[in-house]
Amino acid sequence: MNAALEGEKKVVAEDYFLLAIRNWDDKLEDFLPVGDPSTTTQTFNGYPNAEKAFFSTNYGNCPQAGGKDVKLELLHMRFGVPNMVRNRILFP
């Protein structure tokens, strides 16, 4: 299987990095899941570019936040299994 996902460039489906910006939900009292339509995601082939995007993202880059906290996650996706690499919470 050598499918590609949409993103900055062609990304191999079996092995890529996913940067996700997850919104806070007051009703759940937790952050919305990565698969939620309000979650902003970006895919990367290599770790260096993904890490650079992770560290360069600040609260001002998250217009969907609406004044609430957001969770920034860098995930390594390997054969459809997410593995947490880095995460942090950004505050207004």
Query: Quick one: pLDDT at residue 73?
Result: 97
pLDDT lower than 70: segments of the chain: 1-13
Would the CA dihedral through 46, 52, 55, 61 be positive or negative?
Answer: negative
Give domain limits for the chain.
Answer: 4-90
Query: Quick one: pLDDT at residue 14?
Result: 84
What do you get for the CA distance between the two ends of the chain, in Å? Answer: 42
Query: Quick one: pLDDT at residue 80?
Result: 87
Query: Quick one: pLDDT at residue 2?
Result: 36
Q: What is the pLDDT of residues 5-29, one digit of tens each?
A: 444 456 666 899 999 999 999 999 9
Tokens of 60: 């001002």
Query: Quick one: pLDDT at residue 9?
Result: 58
14 neighbors 1 (Cβ within 8 angstroms): yes
d(CA 73, CA 64): 16
Query: DSSP 3-state assignment of 52?
Result: helix
